[in-house]
Every structure is written in structure tokens, then in C-alpha cells.
Chains A and B, each alone.
Chain A
Amino acid sequence: MLREMGRASIADLFRGVPAGLRLNRLLDLPAALSEAEALDHFRLLADANATRVSSFLGAGAYDHFIPTVIDTLISRSEFYTSYTPYQPEITQGTLQAIFEFQTLICELTGMDVANASLYDGSTAAAEAVLMAERVTGRSRVAIAANLHPEYREVVDTYIRNAGIAAQTLPTDAEAGTLAPGPLEDLGPEVAAVVVQSPNFFGGVEDLTALAEATHRAGALLVVVVAEGLSLGLLRAPGACGADVVCGEAQSFGIPLSFGGSYCGFFAVREKYQRQLPGRLVGQAQDTQGRGGYVLTLATREQHIRREKATSNICTNQGLYALMATIYLSTLGRRGVREVAEQNLQKAHYAAGRVAALGGHRLRFTAPFFNEFVVTCPRPAAEVLDRLRGRGIVGGLPLSRFFPEMTHDLLVCVTETAPKAEIDGLVDNLKAEV
């Protein structure tokens, strides 16, 4: 090839790089591994993680059963080695799947329009705040104290330089859900009230009441859903009056994978569809009247609008939105409901048994879905250390995010926990009394 081009050497092709900048050595990296060696190497690393424990961790990342068909289908090269569908004639598969994803998210959340997905639940929450500021022209945001603390940190990062100030709405000490009082007093500058339901402590919020109070102040209600499967049972936030419903679709067939990649979703009322961040797929027709799908309303986006775009995002989580779409199709109307029901029942069975132990008690009184807070008779970190010695990861010590909650433990029970494992947790907690 070089000869054909009349070039003497490969180095000749790099003559644009000043000689002083050329690396005249190999990179200081390990020598290449064969396939067998690389596989061994990664197996060793993977095995250095203890994943075969009895785990009751949730807190924004949920262990749910993943049907085999998902990996079968997303392993098709046509899906995972394809690019963003900018050329609709040869990416109708991706485009139609995203259209189905958008529809499924609308159905679950009770909203009119959903985008093609965002990075994760936390950045979806941050984008919702930025959108609320655009829509209302107001520059304050009121955020529930029981929003996932990492989501809150992300929102704070995104708004720091955007001229938006945040205030915190306190949690009712007894119920664990938002205290109603402060909502009556939002003031005229609040663009959005951001609440999570089920909240970080597992409690289900009274969204209808929150929507009324929020709208009285002329603000948007942003409902964040970190546990998507709760929507299988709980009234759709859209039916409660939410203006934006966003969150995390990880529960829909996406592996835990140490926290990523996940899949944020974002749904709004129709009147805000031109203010949405991220990609959107819509129906279109060709010159012969044949129907298909295209990326649409692109004039909101960075490649057209540059610094005036609704967001800097340039991608979605295509393959992971596809996973969620396959999950929601496979489980379908009956399955999503049944999985949600099993989560509810198992979590309540566990909570009931823990509460009956004496010594441990349930911290909050609000209704919950599959997570609840246990107050231990001694520091939660100590309790967890001893449980771990018996192969149980008993939950998340809340002191990690709330230093004053020294004795509190966030416990998540999903459909993947057999009764025997739940009983194992309870029996071991009993020893801590």
C-alpha cells in the first residue's frame, strides 16, 4: 500500500507530528496477552470480588432476575456493533426499538413523551432541574432530603455554574417521607420540587399531595424513580400530577455491574417536548408513503444549537435502553406486576420478622415497596461486619451518607431472595440483639 502511494515508510505518514513530540519508545505497558491469558487475567480479577454472598443491598442499584433472552438478543452484532442511528434507512432496528422504549416508559410513568434515555438516573435528575429552569425562568430548586444522596451530589455539580440555587425539603422524622409543612411555603422563585418515590429510605411519597402544593407555587413537580419496578404496583407519577418523571431503568434487566453502565429515563408532559434533553425518535414517512422512524426534534441538540442546546448530551444508552425494552416486553403486563408484587411481599415479610425480633426496629412508618430502614441496637457498621463474616451483606449503613444515622441500616429485599436467605438474615440479626 505504501509503495502504491509513493511513500517510503509508515513514519513518513506521521511527518505532521513534530519530531520532538514523537514518542521514540514503546508505551510502558504490559506485553500483549493472548486470548487465553487475557481471559485468565480477568477471571482472576472477577473472582477477587465476592459476588456469591447473600446480599440485601439496594439503594439505587437492584438485584433482579434477568431473563436469558436479553443477553441473547443484545449480543446480536446488528445491535451492539451499530452506531447511533443517524442514517435511518439502515438503522430502523435501533430506531424502532427506541420508539418502543419511549412508549414503554410513557406507559409506566403515565407521561406523554419520553426520550431515548440518558446516562443514568442521577444525571436524569440533574437534567430535569436544568429543564425546569429553562421552562419556568426561575432559578431556585427545592430538593427532597430523602433523594438518593449521590443523585443530590450530581444535581449540585450540574447546577453549581448554572446560576441555580438549591434548598432542601426536610424529611418527616417519623414517617421518613417528606414533611408536608415546608411545601406550603415554597415562594415564587422555585422552578421545581424534586422528590424521589420510593424515596432513598424506601418510603412511598404521597405524590398527589406534593403535586398540588408544587403547582400552587407555580413550580414543576419532578418525580425521580430510582427503583423502576416499583412502577409495576404504584400509581403512575403522571396520574398523580407530575410534570417530569425521570430515573433509573437498571431494574429492567440491566446487570448490577458495579454501578454502570445503567440507563436513565426522562419523561414529560407533551407541552415540554421541545425542551427535553437528549435524543428523541419519532415516526416518519418516505416518499412512497412507507412508515419508519427517525431521530427528531434535533434542533434542541448540541450538534445544531451548540452552546444554546438544551443539554450537552450527544448520546443515549442505546443498548441498555434496548435491554430495558426487551425486559419489559418479556415480563410484559403480567410479569412486571408479578415481580413487583413479589418484591413487595418479600420485603414486608422480612421487615415484619425483623420488627418482631425486639431490639431492632423499623425506623420509619410510611408505606414502602422493597426497601426499609432498620435501626439496630448497636452501630450498624458493627452489625454488618459480623454478618459479613457469615456470608451476608446485610444492607447499606446509612452513616455513609447521614453521619447521625449511626445505627441505621437500609435493607433491600427483591424477588431474588429466597425465604431461606431472608430467614438467615433475620436469624443473624437476632444474634445482635
Chain B
Amino acid sequence: MKATTHISQNEGLIFERSRAGRVGYRLPALDVEAAPAAELLGPALLREDDLAGLPEVSEVDVIRHFTRLSTWNYAVDYGMYPLGSCTMKYNPKLNERVARLEGFAAAHPYLPDALAQGNLELLKRLEECLAEITGLPAVSLQPAAGAQGEMTGLMVIRRCLETRGRARRRVLIPDSAHGTNPASAAICGYEVQTLKSNARGAIDLENLRRVVDEDVAALMLTNPSTLGMFEENIEEICRIVHEAGGLVYMDGANMNALVGVTRPGDMGVDVIHLNLHKTFSTPHGGGGPGAGPIAVTAELEPFLPLPRVAGEPGALRLDYNRPQSVGRVRAFHGNFSVLVRALCYILSLGPDGLREATETAVLNANYLAHHLEPDYEVAVDGQPMHEVIFSDKRQSKHGVHTLDIAKRLIDYGFHPMTIYFPLIVPGAMMVEPTESEGREELDLFIEAMRAIAREARETPELVKGAPHNTRIGRLDEAAAARRPALRYRAAKA
């Protein structure tokens, strides 16, 4: 048994701790002559509420408050976090340490290039590493997240097609894709045409040949697909799209299955984004920040966003003079603190370590598939890569559904898997163990899943009422959305 219940501290909102006059800071005394703010700014520009809505608390209040909140979270450092497609691997502590080095953390983005050579070299080295890993020669580290990488990559494609003559109108996206794919295509001014996947969740070549025409700008595909299978016909798919004058965008969310084993550039892919917060071990932070660099072919390099790192070590500079660029996608130079961590991961693992990580991730997923198959319906036949997708088909007969199984896993001390995605699998349960788990943790997970399958047959109500051991039970999300309460408001005195 992985988990036991224990005392959990209660804690209100920070605003409810507030007591008039309490402070948790001390500033150095002001060392210049002061004039009244009303004189310097004019009274009309000043606040009138004296910031009454901000809390007044001590340092101990702050520490207790946020420490208590933290204990209500599950985390990778507690154990396996089998969220499919999210690659919740261990976040090495050295990465945290190096990202906090003063030379990085205190560097202003507008430091003259000559004073920021270390940062520029770091960016250049990371670009080189990601180019080698993807097999695509040009990398932009600008995009702030995977979705922004998608948007940027499609803009790059659009610019390229405009240069060739015409931006074209449509982007093809399989029905198994992440929701960000169509949303990103829409921002780039493209119509989305949904491609129906075949029974194995792969692209149907005949269908692809039928729909690809001179109005198709790009195909966006995820490889391995969101069903965890390698797209075996990837070379043929790229050929079909290229012959019609389109480009191929690969969603790199599942790159943890491929690093060091095969390279998107060698497959014929034109653009890929990488989620550094998945494949390259940077922490998810409870939902960001991540980073979503893109790697592209040489033909697409001129269109990459601003700025680009240029020059040679010792005389590196940020190049803003790139007339064909799609422009700027965010202020400054990317999520630098995330980029530092990703490079540290790559250099710490080295080429053999990176390949071993991939192999272990795939081994772990296959091990789970092998041991859970007797109890759970596998969504598609075939060789899973780094994740495996089950459905609730067998448990549904007892009235137990995917959501119930997920919630019951919480009682067993695990974070649930990704559920109800991909949309093409009814009641999908997507399990991605990553390479971080040893056999013992995997066995605990298998044990928990088997126990839940047994409960679904014998005591289904127990599963349907889960979780039982958490601070709160299932929340009424529909009621929350009907009458949203999105902020605290102090009771009127």
C-alpha cells in the first residue's frame, strides 16, 4: 500500500489572516530627500484606496500559510505521476541550483551583449543540442510554451508559403490531436480540417491523399500519436504532403519516446516544437512556466522569430535584423530560466544517458501494458511506445467509469492518469510512467489498478464515491461554472 492518511492542516485565505498593522518585511531606510507623492505626481494620479485589499501579515504567517497549502498538492517528488502526454518525469535538483546562479538570475535582458556572453553562449549551445536531437538544423528558443511553439511554427510555415507564392487556406489535423493544435491554427488564420484516424489511431494514407490539395498549408501531427503508437508511415505521409506543396508540422509533446532513437528531421518533418517541461525535465510548477522551442529545416530558418543568437563565442550577439522573420512572439529572449535547466539536463545525461532515458520510458510503459492488460481494455492493438491507453469498457459494465477509476487511484496514493483524452477513445485512460520510475513504484501502481478493477466488479459504489481519503471530495464543477466566484471579497464592515 503506497499511502496512509494523516493529519492535514486547515488554512483559510491569506486575506483572512490579515491583521491591521502586521508586517512581514523591512526595507532599508530611504536615503534620499523625499517630497510628498502628491506633489511629484499630482493628487489626481494617486490611489485612493490605500491598498486596503492587500493582506497585512507577518513572515511566519506567510510561511505557515503557503507551507500548509503546499501539503494539499500531489507532486512528482511524492511518487509516480502517470499523466499521459504530460511526461511528468523527475526534475533534477541540480537544474534548480544552476538556474538560480546569480549570473543568470540577476541578468537584465537589456544588458549589452558584451556583458551577457555567458547567457548568449548558453542559448547557442542549447540551440545546437536541440538541433542535433531533432535532426533539424535551426532552432528558436523564443516560444514560451508548447502552444506558443505551435503558433510560431505555423506562422513560420505561413511565411514560407507566402514567400513561395501563396499562404494557402487549410491545416489538416487528426481527430486525435491535442486541442491546442486547432486553436493555434486558428490564430494563424487557417481553417482546420479534421482528419479521421484509422482504427489504430494512425493517419489513413488513402484519406490523406484524397484531402491534400493546393489549398493545404500543412499537416500537424503528433508522433508517436496520442495513442502512443509510432506513425509507421511517417516518411510516406511527409512525401504526400510535400508533393502537394504543403509542409509537415510535428507536435513534439511525445518526444520522450524518441530522443536518441530516431529524429524528426530524418523522417521528413519541417517544423517541430519541443516541450522542455516534458522531455527535458524542467518542472511543471503547478502549471507553468514551460518552454516550447521550435526546430525547423534550413529553408525555414529565415522566418524564425526575433531575436536570433548570432556570431561566435566571445563575440555573440542578439540579431534583430531579420527582414523575413515572423516577428516577435514574446518580449525579451524566451523563458531563459527554463532553458538553463533544459541544457543542464542534456549535458548531465549525455548522448548515452538520453537514449537510455528513452528506452527506459518505453520499457516502463510496455511493462505496465503487459501487466494491466488482463484487467483493462487496451484501446488499440500494437506496440506502445512511452505511453499506453486503456478504456473503461470492462468496468463500465459495473457502472464504474474512467473518472471513478481515476479518483479511486488518488486513494491509493497516486496521481490519476490523463483521462478522456484522446477524444477518439471513449473513456480513455492514458498512462505514461516515464523513465523516472523504478520497478517497485510500477508494481505498486499495477497493484493499485488491479485492486480497483476488483473493486469495480465487487464493490462498485466504493469506486464511484472516490476519493475517500482526501481533504475534499469531488467538487461540483457545473455549479462552479454556473455562478462563478473567481475572487475573494472582504465582508463589508
Contact = CB atoms under 8 A, between A and B. Distances in A.
B459 interface: no
A346 B34 CA distance: 8
A39 B69 contact: no
B40 interface: yes
Given A50-B116, A232-B47, 7 more contacts: A32-B349, A96-B69, A259-B334, A260-B144, A314-B178, A318-B289, A332-B54
Given A83-B86, A97-B69, A260 B328 contact: no
A48 B484 contact: no
Contact of A27 (B62, B77, B192, B354): B354
B235 A21 contact: yes
B108 A61 contact: yes
B117 A48 contact: yes
B267 interface: yes
Interface in A76-98: 76-85, 87-94, 96-97
B338 A344 contact: no
Most chain A CB atoms below 10 A, which of B73, B362, B480: B73
Interface string A219-259: 00000000000011111100100000000100000011111
A333 B118 contact: no
A137 interface: no
A188 interface: no
Contacts of B348: 32-33, 35, 38
A312 B184 contact: yes
Interface in A97-143: 97, 99-100, 102-104, 106-108, 110, 112-114, 116-117, 119-123, 130
Interface stretch (A153-161, A165-173, A210-218, A354-362): A153-161
Nearest to A151: B331
Given A72-B63, A332-B54, A63 B286 contact: no
Interface residues of A, number: 195
B346 A284 contact: no
Contact of A13 (B88, B122, B362): B362
A2 B363 contact: yes
A325 B277 CA distance: 22
B329 interface: yes
B477 A294 contact: yes
B69 to A, nearest CB: 4
Contacts of B15: 100, 103
B477 A153 contact: no
Given A92-B471, A148-B331, A83 B286 contact: yes
24 contacts: A10-B359, A13-B383, A16-B224, A87-B410, A89-B410, A89-B473, A91-B73, A94-B286, A104-B53, A119-B148, A154-B328, A161-B188, A204-B45, A206-B45, A256-B106, A260-B332, A285-B479, A296-B477, A314-B178, A317-B285, A329-B57, A332-B25, A333-B52, A335-B23
Interface in B222-244: 224, 229-230, 232, 234-235
A259 B115 contact: no
B55 A332 contact: yes
B95 to A, nearest CB: 9
Contacts, number: 646
A149 to B, nearest CB: 9
Nearest to B81: A83
A100 B284 contact: no
A382 to B, nearest CB: 13
Interface string B70-105: 111111111001010010100100101111111111
Which 10 A-B pairs rank lowest in CB-CB distance, beginning with the nearest? Answer: A259-B332, A32-B350, A46-B103, A259-B109, A319-B285, A48-B118, A161-B189, A107-B53, A318-B287, A77-B77
Given A261-B335, A302-B183, A16 B383 contact: yes
A306 interface: yes
Interface string B164-184: 000000000000001110111
Interface string A277-321: 001111111111011101011110111111111011111111110
B41 interface: yes
Contacts of B94: 35, 38-39
B272 to A, nearest CB: 14
A122 B117 contact: no
Interface string B433-457: 0000001000000000000000000
A27 B287 contact: no
A102 B487 contact: yes
Most chain A CB atoms below 10 A, which of B59, B72, B347: B72
Interface stretch (B208-216, B256-264, B394-402): B256-264
B31 interface: yes
Contacts of A45: 103-104, 118-119, 121-122
A47 interface: yes
A17 interface: yes
A405 interface: no
Interface in A16-68: 16-18, 20-23, 26-33, 35, 38-39, 41-53, 55, 57, 59-61, 63, 65, 67
A280 B484 CA distance: 10
A93 B70 contact: yes
B31 to A, nearest CB: 4
Contact of A236 (B47, B88, B185, B187): B47
A336 B70 CA distance: 25
B406 interface: yes
A154 B286 contact: no
A312 B23 contact: no
A83 B283 CA distance: 9
Given A4-B370, A329-B65, A319 B37 contact: no
Interface in B333-378: 333-338, 340, 344, 346-355, 359, 362-363, 366-367, 370
Contacts of A433: none
A89 B407 contact: yes
Interface in B445-493: 467, 470-477, 479-481, 484-488
B366 A13 contact: yes
A408 to B, nearest CB: 15
Interface string B256-296: 00011111001100000000000000011111111100000
